[in-house]
Chain A
């Protein structure tokens, strides 16, 4: 073992070589272990290949495994030497010990050497029909690996048919591994663009899967459940049958089995017609999801992301369980953030008091980011539950009284927009704390409030003058807000603020670095100088009150994602194609099939790019009401035909309207609640999508979350300005 840590001695490989050829078997075995140890720490022991190979023929299974391990590691770099091992491999597949047979066939599958492959088919044929289930299941998985390397060999030898027969095997372990192998082949075939369905699930196969489901290992169950999720049911009755058979899996100890079962239920429940059945399934789904929260934080997080998604479809799922989601102060931030989101989702009149007192507690915590989100959650609660709005405002005011007032202003803006002219009484309190603000978001929000209610705040011009004085030192969001607020003030009180508006327009157009700020200043200037009446109509127009969207993703995408529960897509809340691409291609097959695949891949790449462009174009012109999506992007439609077999890509096309930038930012869930707060504005207002984009795109990816909460009011007025220009 000293070889693992000790400094490399001179001629170590030479010594090892001598030991490998020793006449004492114990010495040889020790030497093999040392070789493997060296291999692990990335030392080059490939020179010992022939010596190690000599030790392959042995009765000692452990030694055999170690030699195989070595072979697998160097087979890629030394394919011509591996050929020397072929005979032993083939002989081992006839060994009386099933472990040796399985080991040999498994290793041959892993070697990925072209020359070995040709010798693989005969033994594989034999092993697929072996007496021992362990050998059969190992062989089944080996077929999938062979398909990855040389699909034509699999088809020529009829291995696919054999596999399909093996689904009826008496041993559940064999069934589940066969399903896994067939699924892998299916995925690979789809990725390579084959049209024939290598794993077509018939109702006969379905029944066999359902039987095996209760008897195999947890991993086998996941494989079978995933296959079930793909099955297209004939009628409602069949869907019900599947759901009923899968529901008991909710009680499996393994979390991934639970989530895979949830996925199957969510998919097949769509065609269940009986409402009471659906209700039963939903009721049974809640306990296992709650149980997942007793797991380590990383499992909790994945579970929470999935729960978040499920709640968007079924808000009643966990309605009595809000307390389970209360945050502990030592939860990791990523868990807390998800819990907050879910708590707001579960908020109702009955539990809002408990929620508010929790949120207030969080607002006094140490972690600034978490505090910020908690306060935002208070604002969201106010928007969601009308009856509780006043209580929320009171909590926010109390928070202003304490030192932690980071973003209280932001939350207040949301409340103002939802309940215009209801809570104006709090404005003086907000303004009193003006000096203490140093967060740009809080400043920007407060400035918006001052501008919006300029006619009700007596010293609005004085307050805004403070910001105009320091205009060039402020951050861009604050500058934009100041600009708009001053213009609003001018339109409401033209006499007292003429000088101020002149000053701010001058500064903004001459001394400002940001093109956004300059552009907006120019527009205002032009607007004010040509037609003050139009300016008034545009800048001071009534905005529709906002409401908290029930979903953070569009309904179509939600359906798509619910079909992908228990996958990366459901964790990212993005369709798989946005981060996976059309298929996964191993490097070997890439080199081998380079020429033939290249065209296809280029085509697929192009198609995806077109989709992306279409998406952008669509965003620029986003009319955002779901009805109008179909015909908007001709460039994208062309791509749909290419990607017909990948429904999720089509779904992007169909107007999920997820901004690519937004993808980048919110992939880990940052501020995904605040994005849609913009959308209600959009639906009322044809060009809102445009304004949001213009604001978001010039910013570095890290800042949109900064902008989002502050942007709805301003961005809107900005595009209204544009309308005025036309």
Chain B
């Protein structure tokens, strides 16, 4: 029950960094890289390649599978052999990517190449050569692998590396709580909660939702000294369902009285995820979509014309960075549009997608896009739905409120902050 290793490929399918693969023949990782590259080049859309590829092996009795996922401009792949859960591999890849983001910020093949020594150390610490993930909690990792920092670079240029490397904490893993560092000290004790909710919905032609779900997550940034024991209560927890939690949450306590009792990790972490289900049965799955979209699309030979109107249903809030996308079908060759309010539009020849961007949609505002497109195929077949994405700041669909936050185990009074943020990813059929 373990994964065989991790390989990171650049956009051209060449390996940038890979783990040791000590217990398998050297050809093993190469076979997997080839299998993936072949599958990708054979597929008409790279997104449609099955995420678990069966890879024939050198020995007859041990075929293996290759789990892969796209991350920024790279692809991560995890060969597994034997009856291993592919989800285990995907979960590890996700964790590793999160760690890399934590260390390097924005990810790209270039960043990893520049910091390859740190990436290698991280890989060694997070994945045992037997394939068992080891230390993946960012709190513990920062003790044993130093993040690249300006200070380190300055010191190394000055030639005094001796100062930069010795560990500040000679007893790593001394903390009795695996996810929290021991001996954290802050001058200002603060904790922030970000509630981010995403509305995912499919809207039928007549404007009624076929399916709609609100997925929420609470991310936290904790800067508290010592070992704080927190007790968090929500004012309207009833509408939260399907919750999943950071391991620090005491599950029994949640089951008993729906309060979150936990000793938080230090720094950024994802406290919980949930699905918002409105309490009354009649409105089940019926979170209102904050806009309406009217469209008329006429298809002709080698092209078509369209007229799209987006109206905000919000009365007080504005929507930010609204993008409306329409795939114009194979063979689409160009488009020309007129948009109201000087909003920008573009047609991407690579993805054959028309994109209309509205930076700010005012409450109850109406926005239109008119235009035509051309296609090399005789009967163009654009996709049957628009994809609309938007953000609403300072707002949550569930109106989730933190009732109170109690702190035990430490003497100080922390500063608490909470803010909401909503996003939407709507498929609007026409």
Contacts and interface: CB of A to CB of B under 8 A. Distances in A.
Interface of A: 1, 4-5, 24-26, 29, 33, 36-37, 40, 59-63, 65-66, 69, 72-73, 76, 96-99, 106, 109-112, 132-134, 138, 141, 144-145, 148, 172-173, 177, 180, 183-184, 187, 214-219, 222-223, 226, 248, 250-256, 258-260, 287-288, 290-291, 294, 296-299, 301-303, 323-324, 326, 328-330, 332-334, 354, 357-358, 361, 364-366, 403, 564, 566-569, 571, 576, 579-588, 590, 601, 604-605, 667-668
Nearest to A68: B124
B63 interface: yes
Contacts of A297: 47, 51
B120 A36 contact: yes
Interface string B118-131: 00110010001110
B257 interface: no
Contact of B90 (A76, A110, A302, A586): A302
A144 to B, nearest CB: 6
Nearest to B215: A294
A605 to B, nearest CB: 7
Given A110-B129, A361-B384, A580 B137 contact: no
B51 A605 contact: no
Interface string B68-90: 11000000000011111111101
Given A60-B162, A98-B172, A326-B211, A222 B1 contact: yes
B202 A326 contact: yes
B310 to A, nearest CB: 19
Contact of A328 (B61, B170, B243, B427): B427
B324 to A, nearest CB: 14
B247 A253 contact: yes
Nearest to A331: B47
A579 B84 CA distance: 12
B273 A291 contact: yes
B262 to A, nearest CB: 13
A26 B61 contact: no
A636 to B, nearest CB: 19
A632 to B, nearest CB: 26
A330 B353 CA distance: 12
A723 to B, nearest CB: 39
A138 B144 CA distance: 14
Interface in B5-23: 16-17, 20, 22-23
Q: Which of B2, B48, B156, B244 has the most CB of A within 10 A?
A: B244
Contacts of A180: 1-2, 132
B210 A219 contact: no
Given A291-B244, A668-B50, A59 B84 contact: no
B175 to A, nearest CB: 10
Interface string B332-347: 0000000000000000
B385 interface: yes
Contacts of B83: 564, 567-569, 576, 580
30 contacts: A33-B117, A40-B16, A65-B120, A65-B124, A97-B167, A98-B171, A132-B174, A172-B178, A187-B82, A217-B133, A222-B85, A252-B244, A258-B244, A260-B85, A287-B242, A290-B242, A291-B244, A291-B275, A301-B51, A326-B210, A328-B202, A329-B384, A332-B47, A365-B384, A366-B329, A580-B63, A584-B62, A587-B23, A587-B59, A668-B54
B244 A329 contact: no
Contact of B242 (A177, A226, A288, A579): A288
A584 B82 contact: yes
A173 B51 contact: no
Contacts of B45: 332-333
B117 A134 contact: no
B101 interface: no
B124 A587 contact: no
Given A110-B20, A112-B22, A134 B384 contact: no
B242 A97 contact: no
B61 A581 contact: yes
Contact of A581 (B62, B84, B114, B117): B62
B210 A354 contact: yes
Nearest to B43: A333
Nearest to A648: B83
B146 interface: yes
A291 B242 contact: yes
A588 B285 CA distance: 56
A290 B113 CA distance: 38
B409 interface: no
Contact of A109 (B54, B129, B146, B275): B129
B251 A251 contact: yes
B28 to A, nearest CB: 9
B91 A334 contact: no
B244 A184 contact: no
A582 B128 CA distance: 24
Nearest to B209: A323
A216 B178 contact: yes
A66 B178 contact: no
A366 B87 contact: no
A330 B130 contact: no
Contact of A580 (B62, B121, B387): B62
A202 B418 CA distance: 48
DSSP class of A's interface residues: helix, strand, loop or mixed? helix
The 6 closest A-B pairs by CB, nearest first: A581-B61, A298-B51, A287-B242, A134-B173, A576-B83, A323-B211
B91 A254 contact: yes
B238 interface: no
Contacts of A303: 87
B150 interface: no
A32 to B, nearest CB: 9
B165 A62 contact: yes
B395 interface: no
B167 A587 contact: no
B136 A568 contact: no
Given A290-B275, A298-B69, A568 B202 contact: no
Nearest to A322: B211
B111 interface: no
Nearest to B46: A332
A1 B129 CA distance: 26
Given A253-B245, A567-B83, A567-B85, A579 B69 contact: no
Given A253-B272, A294-B273, 8 more contacts: A26-B156, A106-B129, A215-B178, A218-B91, A252-B247, A567-B84, A579-B54, A584-B82
B62 A568 contact: no
Q: Which of B52, B59, B215, B255 has the most CB of A within 10 A?
A: B52
B67 interface: yes
Contact of A568 (B48, B80, B121): B80
Contacts of B327: 329-330, 366
Nearest to B271: A253
Given A251-B244, A253-B245, A288-B244, A302 B52 contact: yes
Contacts of B144: 99
A587 B88 contact: no
A568 B242 contact: no
A588 B23 contact: yes
Nearest to B51: A298
Contacts of B121: 62, 65
A431 to B, nearest CB: 25
Nearest to B132: A180
Nearest to B425: A328
A618 to B, nearest CB: 23
A143 to B, nearest CB: 10
B52 A184 contact: no
Nearest to A403: B379
A172 B177 CA distance: 10
Contact of A187 (B1, B60, B95, B242): B1
Nearest to A325: B211
A44 to B, nearest CB: 13
Contacts of A40: 16-17, 116
A629 B197 CA distance: 54
A324 B167 contact: no
Contact of A583 (B61, B69, B86): B61
